[in-house]
Every structure is written in C-alpha cells, then in structure tokens.
C-alpha cells in the first residue's frame, strides 16, 4: 500500500541535533571484546549552537581508555539530518535516524580506532551512547555512556 505523505502535518516542532544542546554529565563504562568490564570514567560535555547550521561539542574525558585525560573540541556542521566535522583529534560523520536516535562514525587519532556510536535519548534529559570501537578491522572495545543533562536550553 502506498500512502500519500504530501500532506500538511502542521508546523515543524523538531530541529535535528537540538536535543544534544546543553551541559551534560556522564559515566563511560568500558568492556573488552568479550564483554568483560574493564573500567569506568567520568565524562563532561557542553554542546551549543554557534550558528544556524553549526554546533560546538566540548567533551572532557577524565580518563579516555588507553589514553588518559582528553579535552576534545569539535565544530560540527549540519546539512539536513546529516552532520560532519574534523580536527586534529577526530573526524566525525553522523545522521539523525529518528528525532531521538542518532548514529555517528568517528575516526579517532587519540585511540587509533574507528568509533561507531549510537546515541539514543531515554527522555529529553537522559541519553545513552552505545559505542563499538574497531582497530585493525577487529573489535577493540565496547563502551556504554550514560549522560544526564544538567543545564538545558
């Protein structure tokens, strides 16, 4: 059955990536390729718009696994539901899958891995990130990050 979706559904109330904006506090739990818990570390995040189609991501990992403290600033450009950004530490490509589910591929110079992140929002102020880090075409680690927004727009 084909449905005609060329209808007036009313004003758009959703802006891609708006749900990321604010100040977040989180905990990153790291597991090896077999699922054994390795460690946990605090992560602090501040995300804000710098222009109509660009946002800034500031992440501070108290202990990024196998690296140590990491202070990462990334400027992200939005084109529709897609986004991208790059600096000397990371290259980021992402997409909104649903209004509260986002996927990102990150090439990290810090961890020497390709990072596959699935962000999903449990509610407007609670977000979970499931991470799969790959090195040399093999699973290196898995991570689960849980964040609470402590300052919102």
- pLDDT higher than threshold 80 for residue 66: yes
144 and 128 Cβ atoms separated by less than 8 Å: yes
Question: For residues 46 and 110, what is the distance between their CA atoms, to the nearest angstrom?
Answer: 20
pLDDT per residue over 77-110, tens digit each?
Answer: 999 999 999 999 999 999 999 999 999 999 999 9
- pLDDT higher than threshold 90 for residue 131: yes
Query: Is the entire prediction scored with pTM above 0.85?
Result: yes
Domains and CATH numbers, the chain: 18-151 (2.40.128.20)
Strands 126-135 and 138-151, sheet pairing: antiparallel
Question: For residues 9 and 26, what is the distance between their CA atoms, to the nearest angstrom?
Answer: 36
């Amino acid at each position: 059955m084909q449905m005609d979706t060329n209808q007036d559904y009313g004003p758009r109330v959703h802006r891609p990536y708006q749900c990321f904006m604010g100040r977040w506090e989180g905990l990153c739990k790291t597991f090896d390729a077999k699922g054994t818990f390795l460690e946990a570390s605090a992560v602090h995040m501040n995300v804000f718009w710098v222009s109509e189609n660009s946002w800034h991501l500031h992440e501070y990992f108290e202990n990024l696994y196998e690296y140590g403290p990491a202070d990462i600033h990334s400027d992200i450009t939005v084109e529709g539901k897609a986004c991208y950004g790059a600096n000397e530490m990371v290259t980021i490509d992402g997409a909104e899958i649903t209004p509260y589910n986002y996927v990102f591929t990150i090439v990290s110079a810090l961890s020497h891995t390709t990072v596959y992140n699935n962000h999903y929002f449990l509610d407007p102020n609670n977000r979970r990130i499931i991470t799969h880090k790959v090195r040399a075409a093999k699973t290196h680690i898995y991570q689960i990050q849980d964040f609470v927004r402590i300052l919102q727009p």
